[in-house]
Amino acid sequence: MKVASVKESQKMIYNILKQAKQNNRLSHAYLFYGDKGTGKKEMAIALACMHYCPNGGCLECEVCQNIIDGNHMNVDYIGMQEDKTKISKEQIMDLQEEFSKTSLVEGTRIYIVDGIDTASSQAQNSLLKFIEDPTNLTPTVGIFIATELSNVVSTIQSRCVLEHFEAIPKDKMIELLEEDSIQSLDARLVSCLTNDVDEAKEIINEDNFEYNKNLFLKLIDIRTKKHLALFYLDNQRYYSDPKNLLILLSWMLRFLEDANVAKSGRDGLILSPLYDKIISYSNSSKASMKDQLELILNLFKELNANVSAKNVFFELTEKFI
């Protein structure tokens, strides 16, 4: 649970929370929502620090560092497990079991659920009594983090203070990355994966970024069922990892959206360096753009519903042409 600081673009939310803390008006439940990379997790941990930091949430002292490092006994964090695409009911049940025990440290107990919008409605609803009636009569604060607000059950929304984390415009993010000598295509591709400039740079420097990019470029050039089948056979093991497949689907979605925009000209394309490939695909595709976009969106839903990544990848290669 490593977080360095609150993002500059979210200082207004931070100041509102800090003022509420100073006036003893903090809520017992918060729901932070917005695009990936907009600072929701950083803010959740900063809010936890406010409750225990002797300096009001400095993010630098020993107490804050213990919280940031995940070593504070009264602050619990759960997020998606390494090989999963959603929060499981078991994780939530384990959290409730942990909070049923008496803490050895006095003070407010805080739990952060990162990805509440990925949990099933049943799993989310199991938290309702927990939110309203914490065990052991110990003051408790719940902080929920979501990308898609519509996927959070209304009963949780109604019990939380909602804070929307706005994304910086995509063209501004691309501009910042290009100013840092990052190639235009790389900047544009990574802008489809995160709204965090620092995280974007880390992703580009990862070993598999170039590999993922080359596979994507290879896929969008394929025009026959036979070559799609070969692409599936060659890469089925790689795309059995949901994280690799999510990257591919994110880029495919943007590519198809650009292909739709390109009918009216080149302006407004996020993946503008791929203009020739976009036009070539638009001219050769036998399926309607609407059907292809619906395909990718449905594949996202299947993957988020824990359908096997291998099966989702097979469906992509079977129906893409």
Instruction: Give the whole-angstrom CA distance, residue 57 versus residue 171.
Output: 33
How high is the pLDDT of residue 288? 83
CATH (residue range 8-165) = 3.40.50.300
Beta bridge partners of 243: none
How high is the pLDDT of residue 135? 60
| Residue 174 CA from chain centroid, whole number | 19
Instruction: Give the whole-angstrom CA distance, residue 68 versus residue 49.
Output: 8
Instruction: Give the whole-angstrom CA distance, residue 20 versus residue 220.
Output: 51
Instruction: Give the whole-angstrom CA distance, residue 268 versus residue 272.
Output: 8
How do the domains of the chain map onto residue ranges?
A: 8-165, 206-319
Locate all alpha helices (DSSP H) within 206-241, ordered by sequence. 207-221, 225-235
Residue 133 — left, alpha, or beta (φ > 0 → left; ψ -120 to 50 → alpha)?
beta
Query: Which class for 12: exposed (0-12), middle (13-18), buried (19 or more C-beta within 10 A)?
Result: exposed
CA-based nearest residue to 124, from 99, 149, 161, 98: 149
Instruction: Give the whole-angstrom CA distance, residue 69 versus residue 276.
Output: 47
pLDDT, mean of each 10-residue run, the chain (321 residues): 63 91 91 92 94 90 93 90 78 85 81 93 84 72 94 94 91 94 97 91 95 97 93 97 95 95 85 94 82 94 88 93 76
3-state secondary structure of 90: helix
Inter-residue contact 90 to 78 (CB < 8 Å): no
Instruction: Give the whole-angstrom CA distance, residue 186 versus residue 116.
Output: 30
How high is the pLDDT of residue 3? 52
The number of beta carbons lying within 10 Å of the beta carbon of residue 221 is 11
Residue type, position 243, single letter = K
